């Protein structure tokens, strides 16, 4: 039993740290956000709300500059001020903004935030277990290998979530009569919008799938649904 104690402690530590991270994130978001109200975006929100049979889709504006959208653990949807500015300046269309919101709604509907709590805790325990094994087999580099493998696992799980949220968004956008063209065009813009550099790291290490793979997946879903 004693040999499993470090793993159990790592699991508990992961849960505690995740809970603390959730609390800190939600406090930060609440302190630095306001509800997004824009007449140019409201028709898109209304169409998605009707497709979801909801009274409204509420979106919050998070006052930071990086271009991003996010779903909070409590189910709130946020668009960063930097992203919203791209829309106001005409670099991003209302339909493309709707595709971001639909994607974040997918994360909420599919329970990705809750699943991340389980994954985070499990990965922490797995890292500890592998570090114990590899440290004996490969002294000096065992812990580094354990950390690298856990990072790869986390990235793969994150990419899986992104594909699922993309699929949800595609289905919602089609049902709302908005379509997926803007979803795909935004993916093609994201690299320049976020100042990302191609080739910084291998695709299998990235937390988001490569653009071409995301677009290809959307087109496969459309073909399967008989949509275009």
Sheet (strand 33-35) strand order = 33-35, 59-62, 77-80, 69-71
pLDDT at 204: 43
Q: What distance in Å separates the CA atoms of residue 206 and residue 33, rounded to the nearest whole number?
A: 28
**How far, in Å, are 74, 79, 165, 186, 227 from residue 113 at the CA level?**
8, 17, 12, 24, 29
The low-confidence residues of the chain, meaning pLDDT below 50, are 196-205
pLDDT at 202: 47
How much is the pTM? 0.74
| Angle, vertex CA 73, rays to CA 212 and CA 217, nearest 5 | 15
pLDDT at 39: 96
Q: What is the mean pLDDT of the chain?
A: 81
What are the residue ranges spanned by the domains of the chain?
2-22+31-225
pLDDT at 173: 97
Residue with tokens 């009707």: 50
């Amino acid at each position: 039993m004693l040999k499993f104690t470090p793993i159990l402690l790592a699991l508990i530590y992961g849960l505690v740290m995740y809970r603390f991270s959730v609390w800190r994130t939600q406090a930060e978001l609440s302190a630095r956000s306001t509800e997004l109200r824009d007449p140019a975006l409201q028709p898109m929100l209304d169409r998605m709300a009707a497709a979801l049979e909801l009274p409204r889709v509420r979106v919050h504006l998070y006052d930071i500059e990086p271009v991003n959208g996010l779903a909070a653990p409590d189910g709130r949807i946020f668009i960063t001020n930097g992203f919203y500015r791209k829309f106001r300046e005409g670099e991003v269309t209302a339909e493309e903004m709707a595709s971001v919101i639909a994607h974040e709604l997918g994360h909420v509907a599919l329970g990705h935030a809750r699943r991340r709590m389980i994954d985070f805790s499990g990965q922490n325990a797995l890292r500890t277990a592998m570090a114990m094994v590899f440290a004996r087999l490969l002294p000096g580099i065992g812990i580094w290998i354990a950390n690298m493998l856990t990072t790869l696992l986390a990235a793969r799980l994150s990419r899986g979530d992104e594909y699922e949220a993309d699929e949800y968004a595609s289905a919602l956008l089609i049902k709302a009569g908005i379509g997926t063209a803007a979803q795909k065009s935004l993916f093609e813009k994201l690299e320049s919008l976020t100042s990302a550099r191609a080739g910084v790291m291998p695709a299998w290490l990235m937390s988001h799938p490569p653009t071409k793979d995301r677009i290809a997946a959307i087109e496969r879903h459309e073909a399967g649904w008989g949509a275009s």
